[in-house]
Amino acid sequence: MSLKDKLQVLVVDDMSTSRALIVQALDEIGIKNYRTENDGATAWKNLVSHPVHLVISDYNMPGMDGLQLLEALRSHKTTSRIGFILITGRADKEILEKGQRLAMNNYIKKPFQTAALKACIERVVGRL
């Protein structure tokens, strides 16, 4: 069984169109074990009881943004080692530096191509 058959991913984005584009890319890559959430707070609550291998999260979300979700993940024993990729249309220095301080594993800028997302994921989890 290959890594992409075992990998469990959570996609977090408040925009249904963005979630759909990420999921479509995961399907094209061959990653089938994923679930989605439309806000950071719900994602966080579910991750504590049902951890995954990798979170792909939008940055700009109401309530709990992507970096706040990352901070929560890193502060909890059962979620602290989950891989985390931030997807953002605003990849400015301030956001990326804060992400690095919080142990963000990687990021990708919107809009993205499937091949770029695959490479981004592979830098976190290994060759798919």
Q: Where are the domains of the chain?
A: 3-121
Q: How much is the pLDDT for 1?
A: 77
Gap between the Cα atoms of 8 and 61, Å rounded: 22
Per-residue pLDDT of the chain in tens (128 residues, 90 and over written 9): 789 999 999 999 999 999 999 999 999 999 999 999 999 999 999 999 999 999 999 999 999 999 999 999 999 999 999 999 999 998 799 999 999 999 999 999 999 999 999 999 999 999 99
| Tokens found for residue 92 | 């400015």
DSSP states of 60-117: --SSS-HHHHHHHHHTSTTTTT-EEEEEES---HHHHHHHHHTT--EEEESS--HHHH
Instruction: Please state the pTM of the whole predicted model.
Output: 0.96
Q: Which CATH architecture has domain 3-121?
A: 3-Layer(aba) Sandwich (3.40)
**Would you call 58 helix, strand, or coil by DSSP?**
strand
